[in-house]
Amino acid sequence: MDKTGAAVSAERLNQNESTTTHVSWKEYLAISKTGIVTSNLMTVFAGLFLAAYYNGVSLTADPLTAVLTLLGAAMVIAGGCALNNYIDRDIDHIMERTKDRPSVTGVLSGRQTLTYGLVMAFGGVTLLAMTTITSAFIGLVGLFIYVVLYSMWTKRTTSFNTIVGSFSGAVPPLIGWAAIDPGLHPVAWTLFLIMFLWQPPHFLALAMRRRDEYAAAGIPMLPVVAGFAMTKRQIVWYVAALLPVSLIVVNFGAIYTVTAGVLGAGWLILGLTGFRTQNDVQWATKMFIYSLNYLTILFVVIILVHLF
């Protein structure tokens, strides 16, 4: 972003800060990014559920641990998202998908957004600490990576920002597992790897769809700095790496193994079609939607094969 653009953004930010309107709980939900919270809670629960299963613990016998873990993780994630909104107030108005955030329109002031984010984040860490210190520590590390290393630093300085963000996005299963078993069984780390490798192709596909907006905001996403051809190659490499990693846990049984294999192979085949497509954005949209279905189906199956 040039100096003129920065000045305009600063002026807009100051104008929005002075706006006073009635604030409802819906505005706070909006900056919490409830979609992200919900999807991540699914992986937190998977870690929690599997830890109980492999340690011979019944969640129904200790519902308080489950409630504290899920509520604490939800608050940490929501707090991190709100802090991300606070940090990005000066550029969010440029992007179509973020221009109507309450932190951008001025419905929520910078102080309100910051205060809410900090209270939610550290309140969530406190709840996690009531399960195990390890769970709270992992939550805090994930928060630090997302807010400081990603949002405040790498998001605006390097195309490796997606990799940095993937570390924070991969910790939810560890948070859930550590609430039961601070020792973190190898299965927990496998869930972490699955989440880590899933995120780059998911977010790079999104970045392809929004390349012009990222470019206008001065965010060096890979499609902006290296083009679509390089981005497509990176996406396919990550999907190819994810397939064997998802099959490491063969002890999950035949149903899981077949499901993971079919889902991974389907995603890889779809990815390879990108090298011959005439419409990169359409292909990226298909990859983005597939990634959402992949994660949902995979983790639902992980839970189900251990439930029955």
Overall size of the chain counted in residues:
308
- The top-level CATH class assigned to 1-184 is mainly alpha
Share of the chain above pLDDT 70, in %: 93
Which pLDDT value is given to residue 21? Answer: 55
Q: Please tell me the predicted confidence (pLDDT) of residue 25.
A: 81
Calculate ∠ Cα 263-295-39, nearest 5°. 165
Give the residue among 186, 226, 188 at the shortest CA–CA distance from 207: 226
Q: What is the pLDDT of residues 162-184, one digit of tens each?
A: 999 999 999 999 999 999 999 99
Using pLDDT thresholds of 50, 70 and 90, give the confidence band for residue 95.
Answer: confident
* Mean pLDDT confidence for 204-210: 96
Residue with tokens 């992949």: 294
Cα separation, 50 vs 86, in Å, equals 35
Q: Given this model, what pLDDT does residue 7 score?
A: 43
- Of the candidates 176, 175, 177, the one whose C-alpha atom is nearest the C-alpha of residue 186 is 177
Judged by average pLDDT, the poorest of 91-95, 149-153, 272-276 is 91-95
Q: With bands split at pLDDT 50, 70 and 90, how would you rate the model's confidence at 282?
A: very high
Please check whether residue 164 is in contact with residue 145, taking contact to mean a CB–CB distance below 8 angstroms.
yes
Answer for the pair 60, 108: CB distance below 8 angstroms, yes or no: no
Give Cα 248 distance to the centre of its chain: 23
Can you list the pairs that 158-163 forms with residues at least 24 positions away whose Cβ atoms lie under 8 Å? Answer: 158/220, 159/220, 159/221, 159/222, 159/224, 159/225, 159/226, 161/219, 161/220, 161/221, 162/199, 162/200, 162/203, 162/204, 162/207, 162/221, 162/222, 163/200
Checking if the pLDDT of 210 tops 90, the result is: yes
- pLDDT category at 3 given cuts 50, 70, 90 is very low
Average pLDDT over residues 82-93: 92
pLDDT for residue 160 is more than 70: yes
What's the average model confidence in pLDDT over 119-135? 97
Of all residues in the chain, the percent with pLDDT exceeding 90 is 78
Average pLDDT over every residue of 61-73 = 94
- Of 169, 129, 144, the C-alpha closest to 41 is 169
Q: What is the pLDDT of residue 6?
A: 44
pLDDT average, residue stretch 247-258:
92
Distance, in Å, from the CA atom of 231 to the CA atom of 204, rounded to the nearest integer, reads 7
Q: In a 10 Å sphere around its CB, with 0-12 CB exposed, 13-18 middle and 19+ buried, how is residue 182 labelled? A: middle
pLDDT at position 50? 96
Helices (runs of H) and strands (runs of E) counted in the chain: 14, 0
- The residue ranges of every structural domain in the chain are 1-184, 185-308
H helical segments located in 60-185: 63-87, 102-105, 110-129, 133-144, 161-169, 172-178
Question: Is 155's pLDDT higher than 70?
Answer: yes
